[in-house]
Amino acid sequence: MSGHGPAIPMTARKSAPLRGTAQIPGDKSISHRALILGALSVGETHVTGLLEGQDVLDTARAMRAFGAEVIQNGPGDWTVHGVGVGGFREPDCVIDCGNSGTGVRLIMGAMATTDITATFTGDASLNKRPMGRVTDPLALFGAQAVGRRGGRLPMTVIGAQDPVPARYHVPMPSAQVKSAVLLAGLNAPGQTVVIESEPTRDHSERMLRGFGAEITVEDTDEGRVITLTGQPELRGQNVAVPRDPSSAAFPVCAALMVQDSDILVPGVSQNPTRNGIFTTLQEMGADLVMENPRIEGGEPVADLRVRFSALKGVDVPPERAASMIDEYPILSALAATAEGVTTMRGVKELRVKESDRLDAMARGLEACGVRVSETEDSLTVHGMGAGGVPGGATVQTHLDHRIAMAFLCLGLTTQKPVTIDDASPIATSFPAFEGLMADLGGQITRDNT
């Protein structure tokens, strides 16, 4: 959905202690992959706990355009009848991936080794983001792409007629690029090899294996080497989507910031390629306990018990960045309420997310009275202690759901309210955010109602 509706300004105010249970929706990364792999399989895939955020709904619509049958049976309960590896048909309309970098990059990969052509577009945020990082490796398979200057959408991808397998060392830590290459490798004969210097989220590898692909992962001196044997017959699966740790991070950090809060966040994924935020919070002194650890839907999960805590600033090392890449906006907000300085290093990938997140957080925090400094690759936040952030500002969110949620959480604990210019992008990843925060006791209101 490339058009956004009217902007929805919202204001967060100092709140009483947050209390209760936060039911987090399904993981966004896994939801996209369940639909795409379901579409590339033979037979039926049944997905429960699918995130029904706009990003994932856009991927569902795209899979229909490529020929799969995608049906919603009930809330979070979806069925996909796939067309098999190499079975995508040529869409007769432009594929609109809305706000979703994951959607567009994975789908480009999935169609790049089939002899079809597709044109992709997105919203104003997605159309600014670099696609060359995906189309460069897809060219190794024989695919071609023509887009706007700088490799931007709208862009047409012409799938390879006679795909060849590829060997590709991903030059930046990016699960989207890794996944696009693996998905392209599905319809290339022989072995496709992807090497990543730093491990990034491994949902594609886990799910490809679960759907019946032959895939090996080896840790070597070169990095993590992933080898996929092409042209498998993927078979439809039952997928139970775990709850999204990146969405959970918002109520978790809100509870850590708001005096005397005590909340439970059940069944949150603890996949080691995603859980860097929880390690960091514990280093800051958070009273965060992982209760009842277990395996659900093939992923480790736990119930998170979170109580308000006096936090201290920390240095977040670059090697942890990939495992918490989406959590830096809320961590930056939280760091403003800690005692002392927090420095986040090795985070230049944040400059090419839904917005330039380093810039968006730095400008928003400054507007709220917080001292920050940034380099191309780092952000430093000078904490003001619990209850010490002045607030009293309107923050620009640049069509970025995580910037919007980060400042609404911060506003629950600032001296004066924090307003954001537009909360509408929150629906891309966490449509239930407003209601969930209200149920916990957060004072967040729409300004135009």
- Binding residue (CB under 6 A) for ligand S3P from 174, 187, 271, 396: 174
Q: Is 326 a residue of the active site?
A: yes
Backbone angles phi, psi at 394, to 5 degrees: -110, 130
Q: How far apart are CA 70 and CA 75, in angstroms?
A: 14
Smallest gap from Cβ 389 to ligand S3P, in A, equals: 26
Smallest gap from Cβ 172 to ligand S3P, in A, equals: 8
Nearer to ligand S3P, 205 or 326 (CB): 326
Q: How far apart are CA 284 and CA 314, in angstroms?
A: 6
- Binding residue (CB under 6 A) for ligand S3P from 99, 113, 179, 380: 179
Contact in structure between 107 and 55 (CB atoms under 8 Å): no
Select from 75-83, 171-179, 183-191, 209-217 the region that touches ligand S3P (CB under 6 A).
Answer: 171-179
Q: Which residues of 101-137 are buried (b: 16+ CB within 10 A; e: fewer)?
A: bbbbbbbbbbbbbbbbebbbbbbebbbbbbbebbbeb
Using CB under 6 A as the binding rule, whether residue 31 contacts ligand S3P is answered as no
Q: How far apart are CA 98 and CA 115, in angstroms?
A: 25
Is residue 376 exposed (0-12), middle (13-18) or buried (19+ Cβ within 10 Å)?
exposed
Name residues whose C-beta falls within 8 Å of residue 190's C-beta, 6 or more positions apart in sequence. 164, 165, 229, 230
- Binding residue (CB under 6 A) for ligand S3P from 15, 29, 237, 413: 29
Using CB under 6 A as the binding rule, whether residue 327 contacts ligand S3P is answered as no
Site string (226-265) toward ligand S3P, x via CB under 6 A = ----------------------------------------
Smallest gap from Cβ 264 to ligand S3P, in A, equals: 25
Using CB under 6 A as the binding rule, whether residue 114 contacts ligand S3P is answered as no
> C-alpha distances in angstroms, 123 versus 101, 399, 423?
10, 9, 15
Smallest gap from Cβ 287 to ligand S3P, in A, equals: 28
Using CB under 6 A as the binding rule, whether residue 176 contacts ligand S3P is answered as yes
Using CB under 6 A as the binding rule, whether residue 99 contacts ligand S3P is answered as no
Site for ligand S3P in 345-384 (CB under 6 A): 349
In angstroms, how far is CA 427 from the centroid of its own chain? 13
Select from 37-45, 91-99, 169-177, 386-394 the region that touches ligand S3P (CB under 6 A).
Answer: 169-177
Nearer to ligand S3P, 29 or 135 (CB): 29
Smallest gap from Cβ 34 to ligand S3P, in A, equals: 12
> C-alpha distances in angstroms, 370 versus 280, 353, 367, 406, 431?
21, 23, 7, 14, 29
Q: Which amino acid is at 133?
A: R
Nearer to ligand S3P, 326 or 434 (CB): 326
Select from 45-53, 148-156, 175-183, 220-228 the region that touches ligand S3P (CB under 6 A).
Answer: 175-183
H helices, E strands: number in the chain: 12, 24
Contact in structure between 183 and 36 (CB atoms under 8 Å): yes
Select from 136-144, 173-181, 234-242, 367-375 the region that touches ligand S3P (CB under 6 A).
Answer: 173-181
- Binding residue (CB under 6 A) for ligand S3P from 24, 284, 304, 325: 325
Using CB under 6 A as the binding rule, whether residue 55 contacts ligand S3P is answered as no
Nearer to ligand S3P, 12 or 327 (CB): 327
- Percent helix, strand, coil in the chain, to 5, is 30, 30, 40
- Token reading at 436: 């969930």
Using CB under 6 A as the binding rule, whether residue 334 contacts ligand S3P is answered as no
* CA proximity to 22, closest of 442, 421, 345: 442
Smallest gap from Cβ 429 to ligand S3P, in A, equals: 8
Nearer to ligand S3P, 179 or 397 (CB): 179
Smallest gap from Cβ 156 to ligand S3P, in A, equals: 22
Find the catalytic residue in 326, 359, 400, 422: 326
- 3-class secondary structure, 367: helix
Nearer to ligand S3P, 299 or 326 (CB): 326
Q: How far apart are CA 427 and CA 404, in angstroms?
A: 11
- 3-class secondary structure, 35: helix
Using CB under 6 A as the binding rule, whether residue 102 contacts ligand S3P is answered as yes
Smallest gap from Cβ 106 to ligand S3P, in A, equals: 7
Q: Which amino acid is at 358?
A: L
Task: Give the residues lining the site for ligand S3P (CB under 6 A).
Answer: 29, 102, 174-176, 179, 201, 325-326, 349
Residues that are catalytic: 326
